[in-house]
């Protein structure tokens, strides 16, 4: 038996919510109840209200006592999208982490679980190091979550499959809508640095594109990722080529597209900007990038003295990350990473990031399991779409399709005349 | 046996596609196969490509022969959103209807089925009258379709329940997202003249609002319909009141909101406009109205020298009408209105609009059936939200909830801490 401290456990949720982040919360709770709480090492299970923000509040006013939560309530919560404890965009620096450690001491917290992206992993890392330096026994675990799918070490991250499912369904329906009325349709998809979610638009294709030219591909005809430098001239030429042949064109574009120099395209086309606490210009929660691209196409593709083509833009927005009907596999995996974190703690691990490893990908035989990584391997840095997933300047490869399709669950079989 | 002409049947789809308009196409086809085609009165079943546009093309180049389509293909089509034959925004005038009649004569069409909204009913009416005046025997049937739910005589229209289901799910997820991070969230929903679809946002509430003040309501806190004059001052005061109490506010607003004089708010807040073939300014396929409202709130609610609240806007866009997972009841009803139109034709009806009548609404015992109405009762005019569905200036009533909830199918039971 490992030599484990006795005290309380705290669980928090951070960053953009997902459809399944509450599955991970449920997983940590049930893992604790079956393990450390059952053996008496964990006395109380505390939920941090709005992530670490709840922990740095005076006393315990920012904490919710979840010790007595019953199984039915856990199950109902797990099926509910968004962060039930509340989330935060705070990105703790050294001074903030000192306050977090003080909050842990004040509430006798010996087990710290943080569900979030690479910033959350970094928070775990800093707090864990500070605790060790101060001689306060605190075991810190990062539980992965992000629709962007940009965490290192992970095959993929909980939240991504559900968002990818939403994108695939939306693009499938929208592609048929575009076919029925014609014209050019631009869809802006979340993912500031990594193109995985935008790439999932390709799952709307009933048959793979297999390297076909844009106008020969099943819709979506054009896919633009943040990993591939975006040129407005090339974009216009791409759209014109498809529209000239088909009288229509469906486009999936990441909110994070950027030019050769790495500068984001969004702010250049947007008429107004807003900077958030991290210094980022607001790309989500606004239709500005889509409308800017639509203006560009209308202006660029209207013949002299002629009629402008029908151009429409939809910005998928927050619904992609909180749609209440998740990918079934995502729901299961999000639950398991939470439970696994509690199991690592029970086994005497001092600090770790839970990761997802794919162990099988034969058709109909997708398998995954949880494993551990060091916090510093996951913290801060961002994973991007690998080269083998990217086809030229405006599509994805069959390798991406093979990677992503098993994650999203069954998609409806659609037909056409 | 009624005295029926022998010839071909033509079927078309018009206006904005829906998730279930192909169910109606399938319904007409199977109704014909079981009736008029089986008795030899209908020789060929022709699909008009892009609605009446296909019929006025030379010869039969705008027509698809569906006579030999098999059952499996019909079923696959029926499950597919958007208009499989292609749609059109053309709104035929007298001269255009002369061409339609000529197209019917040229292709020996004796049975004309048009799936669409009140413009499509009007096209049926004009063509029917012209055929009668010309002594050409042509039986014309309108099959109802519109996500706006604004057809007279109908309890509701096919396409609406599926769009309402999408809106209810999206608002439910988005409301929890808003709760987790705080701030003000504006969601712009389709429906230029009628507020039914925007009102469906209220189905996201797990418990009814029951006349509560905005900050006491379950989210969405505020709902703005085109039927209720919209004042930007009152809007700002509403939002400020909720935000001051809760630190957040979720809003559902129709793209068709208008002021006391009946002038649309959208164009006033939008930075650019586009006029379509009907002389309408483009409201969908652009985030401009949502962004304009967000600017208004940011400007209006930022204290002097203080920090602007977090304000985000999503415009639901085309996905609401083509999401590939429809309301199960909608799929069934959309099929039945198509089949009923073919049955009316077989019974010797000369012209009619199929309508949906609700015959039961006890909890768990919702029932509906098809009936007929004269084309002129449905043509052109628009149905609006009745007064009993509207609560004050920014909510809907329990009567609307009781009306709408049975249509959308089971919604997930969500929980909260």
Q: What is the pLDDT of residues B175-215, one digit of tens each?
A: 999 999 999 999 999 998 999 999 999 999 988 898 999 99
Residue B10: CB partners within 8 Å, gap ≥ 6?
B46, B47, B48, B55, B63, B104, B107, B109, B111, B112, B113
Contact present, B115 and B25 (Cβ < 8 Å): yes
Flag whether pLDDT at B276 surpasses 50: no
Q: Does domain B160-324+387-408 have CATH number 3.40.50.460?
A: yes
What is residue A126's three-state secondary structure?
helix
End-to-end CA separation in angstroms for chain B: 65
Is B415's CB within 8 Å of A73's CB?
yes
For the segment B26-53, the average pLDDT, to the nearest whole number, is: 98
Task: Using CA coordinates, name the residue in chain A closest to B413.
Answer: A76
Nearest to A19 by CA among A173, A152, A256, A190: A190
Contacts of A67 in chain B (CB under 8 A): none
Is A286's CB within 8 Å of B73's CB?
no
Beta bridge partners of A263: none
Q: Does domain B7-159+326-378 have CATH number 3.40.50.450?
A: yes
Task: Using CA coordinates, name the residue in chain A closest to B50.
Answer: A180
Task: Give A23-78 as a DSSP string.
Answer: HHHHHHHHHHHHTTTTTTSEEEEEEETTTHHHHTSSTTTTEEE-TT--HHHHHHHH
Nearest to B255 by CA among B275, B269, B239: B269
Nearest to A113 by CA among A142, A78, A73: A142
Q: Select from B71, B184, B297, B318 the residue whose CB has the most chain A CBs within 10 Å, as the one to mutate to test that interface.
A: B318
Is B315's CB within 8 Å of A415's CB?
no
Flag whether pLDDT at B417 surpasses 90: no
Q: What are phi and psi of A110, to 5 degrees?
A: -115, -10
In chain B, the percentage of residues whose pLDDT exceeds 70 is 96
Contacts of A174 in chain B (CB under 8 A): 318-319, 322
For the segment B132-141, the average pLDDT, to the nearest whole number, is: 98
The position carrying tokens 């401290």 is: A5
Task: Note the residue count of chain B.
Answer: 417
A319 → closest Cβ in B80, B173, B181: B173
The position carrying tokens 């992206």 is: A117
Pairing of strands B311-315, B248-254: unpaired
For the segment B147-152, the average pLDDT, to the nearest whole number, is: 98
> How far off is chain B from A127, nearest CA to CA, in Å?
23
> How far off is chain A from B172, nearest CA to CA, in Å?
8
Q: Residue A277's pLDDT is what?
A: 47
How far apart, in whole angstroms, are the C-alpha atoms of residue A19 and residue B363?
30
- Looking at residue A1, what DSSP letter applies? -
Q: Is the peptide bond before B220 cis (omega within 30 degrees of 0)?
A: yes
Q: What is the dihedral of CA A290, A407, A159, A75, to 10 degrees?
A: 140
Is B17's CB within 8 Å of A325's CB?
no
What is residue A384's three-state secondary structure?
coil
Domain ranges of chain B: 7-159+326-378, 160-324+387-408
Nearest to B167 by CA among B84, B211, B223, B118: B223
* B216-225 per-position pLDDT tens digit: 999 999 999 9
For the segment A177-195, the average pLDDT, to the nearest whole number, is: 96
Q: Select from A85, A324, A331 the residue whose CB has the most chain B CBs within 10 Å, as the one to mutate to test that interface.
A: A324
Contacts of B322 in chain A (CB under 8 A): 173-174, 176-177
For the segment B23-52, the average pLDDT, to the nearest whole number, is: 98
* B10-23 per-position pLDDT tens digit: 999 999 999 999 99
For the segment A309-319, the average pLDDT, to the nearest whole number, is: 94
Task: Using CA coordinates, name the residue in chain A closest to B166.
Answer: A323
For the segment B105-126, the average pLDDT, to the nearest whole number, is: 97
Q: Residue B271's pLDDT is what?
A: 52
How far apart, in whole angstroms, are the C-alpha atoms of residue A41 and residue B198?
51
Q: Residue A47's pLDDT is what?
A: 98
* Token duo for residue A112: 């710290």
* Token duo for residue A111: 């087990």
* A263-280 per-position pLDDT tens digit: 998 877 765 445 544 455
Contacts of B314 in chain A (CB under 8 A): 285, 315, 317-319
Same fold, A7-155+326-378 and A160-324+387-408: yes
A173 → closest Cβ in B82, B173, B180: B82
Is B325's CB within 8 Å of A80's CB?
no
For the segment B35-56, the average pLDDT, to the nearest whole number, is: 97
Contacts of A270 in chain B (CB under 8 A): none
What is residue B287's three-state secondary structure?
coil
In chain A, the percentage of residues whose pLDDT exceeds 70 is 96
Q: Residue A51's pLDDT is what?
A: 97
Is A185's CB within 8 Å of B318's CB?
yes
Flag whether pLDDT at B283 surpasses 70: no
Query: Among this protein's residues, is B148 annotated catalytic?
Result: yes
Is A176's CB within 8 Å of B285's CB?
no
Task: Using CA coordinates, name the residue in chain A closest to B88.
Answer: A181
Instruction: Specify the CATH number of the domain A7-155+326-378.
Output: 3.40.50.450
For the segment A308-322, the average pLDDT, to the nearest whole number, is: 94
Q: Residue A283's pLDDT is what?
A: 62
Flag whether pLDDT at B316 surpasses 60: yes
Nearest to B197 by CA among B273, B270, B260, B146: B146
Q: Residue B282's pLDDT is what?
A: 63
pLDDT band at A281; cut points 50, 70, 90? low
How far apart, in whole angstroms, are the C-alpha atoms of residue B327 and residue B291?
30
Please tell me which residue in B90, B119, B122, B148 is annotated as part of the active site. B148
* A122-179 per-position pLDDT tens digit: 999 999 999 999 999 999 999 999 999 999 999 999 999 999 999 999 999 999 999 9
Beta bridge partners of B222: B251
How far apart, in whole angstroms, are the C-alpha atoms of residue A54 and residue B391?
37
Q: State chain A's mean pLDDT as an integer.
A: 94
Q: Residue A287's pLDDT is what?
A: 85
Task: Using CA coordinates, name the residue in chain B closest to A82.
Answer: B177
A87 → closest Cβ in B16, B87, B180: B180
Is A86's CB within 8 Å of B313's CB?
no
> How far off is chain A from B386, nearest CA to CA, in Å?
30
What is residue A382's three-state secondary structure?
coil
A318 → closest Cβ in B50, B177, B308: B177
Distances (CA, A) of A139 to A95, A329, A366, A377, B375: 20, 29, 32, 17, 73
Contacts of A284 in chain B (CB under 8 A): 312
Task: Using CA coordinates, name the residue in chain A closest to B311.
Answer: A285
Is A181's CB within 8 Å of B17's CB?
yes
For the segment B380-395, the average pLDDT, to the nearest whole number, is: 96
How far apart, in whole angstroms, are the C-alpha atoms of residue A150 and residue A194?
6
Flag whether pLDDT at A115 surpasses 80: yes
Residue A391: CB partners within 8 Å, gap ≥ 6?
A209, A211, A397
Is B414's CB within 8 Å of A272's CB?
no
Q: What are phi and psi of B366, to 5 degrees?
A: -65, 135
For the segment A341-356, the average pLDDT, to the nearest whole number, is: 98
Is A47's CB within 8 Å of B77's CB?
no
Task: Using CA coordinates, name the residue in chain B closest to A310.
Answer: B276
Contact present, B162 and B326 (Cβ < 8 Å): yes
B73 → closest Cβ in A16, A298, A415: A415
Nearest to B182 by CA among A88, A327, A277: A88
B314 alpha-carbon distance from chain centroid? 20
Is A84's CB within 8 Å of B170's CB?
no
Flag whether pLDDT at A106 surpasses 90: yes
B287 → closest Cβ in A13, A173, A287: A287
B48 alpha-carbon distance from chain centroid? 21
Q: Is A225 exposed, middle or buried (0-12, 13-18, 19+ CB in 10 A)?
A: buried
A377 alpha-carbon distance from chain centroid? 18
Q: Residue A2's pLDDT is what?
A: 78
* A352-390 per-position pLDDT tens digit: 999 999 999 877 889 999 999 999 999 999 999 999 999
């Amino acid at each position: 038996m490992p030599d484990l401290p006795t005290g309380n456990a705290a669980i928090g949720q951070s960053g953009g919510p997902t459809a399944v982040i509450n599955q991970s919360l449920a997983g940590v709770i049930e893992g604790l109840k079956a393990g450390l709480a059952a053996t008496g090492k964990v006395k109380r299970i505390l939920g941090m209200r709005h992530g670490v923000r709840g922990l740095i509040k005076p006393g315990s006013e920012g904490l919710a006592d979840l010790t007595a939560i019953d199984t039915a309530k856990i199950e109902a919560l797990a099926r509910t999208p968004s962060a039930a404890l509340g989330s935060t965009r705070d990105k703790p620096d050294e001074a903030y982490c000192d306050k977090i450690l003080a909050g842990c001491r004040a509430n006798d917290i010996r087990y710290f679980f943080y569900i979030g992206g690479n910033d959350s992993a970094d928070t775990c890392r800093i707090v864990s190091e500070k605790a060790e330096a101060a001689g306060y026994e605190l075991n810190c675990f990062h539980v992965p979550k992000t629709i962007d799918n940009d965490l290192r070490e992970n095959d993929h991250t909980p939240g991504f499959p559900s968002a990818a499912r939403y994108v695939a369904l939306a693009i499938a329906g929208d592609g048929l809508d575009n076919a029925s009325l014609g014209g050019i349709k631009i869809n802006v998809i979340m993912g500031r640095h990594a193109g995985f979610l935008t790439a999932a638009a390709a799952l709307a294709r009933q048959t793979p594109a297999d390297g076909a030219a844009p106008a020969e591909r099943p819709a979506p005809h054009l896919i633009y990722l943040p990993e591939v430098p975006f040129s407005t001239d090339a974009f216009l030429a791409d759209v014109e080529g498809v529209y000239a042949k088909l009288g229509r064109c469906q486009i999936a574009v990441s909110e994070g597209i950027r030019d050769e120099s790495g500068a984001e395209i969004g702010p250049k086309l947007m008429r107004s900007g807003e900077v958030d606490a991290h210094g980022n210009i607001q790309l989500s929660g606004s239709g500005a990038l889509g409308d800017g691209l639509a203006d560009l196409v209308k202006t660029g593709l209207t013949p002299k003295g002629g009629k402008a083509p029908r151009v429409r833009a939809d910005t998928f927005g927050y619904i992609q990350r909180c749609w209440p009907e998740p990918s079934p596999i995502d729901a299961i995996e999000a639950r398991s990473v939470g439970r696994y974190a509690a199991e690592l703690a029970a086994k005497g691990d001092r600090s770790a990031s839970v990761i997802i490893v794919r162990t099988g990908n034969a058709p109909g035989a997708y398998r995954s399991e949880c494993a551990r990584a060091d916090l510093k391997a996951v913290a801060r840095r961002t994973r991007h779409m690998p080269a083998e997933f990217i086809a030229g300047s405006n599509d994805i490869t069959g390798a991406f399709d093979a990677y992503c399709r098993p994650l999203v669950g069954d998609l409806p079989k659609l037909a056409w005349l």
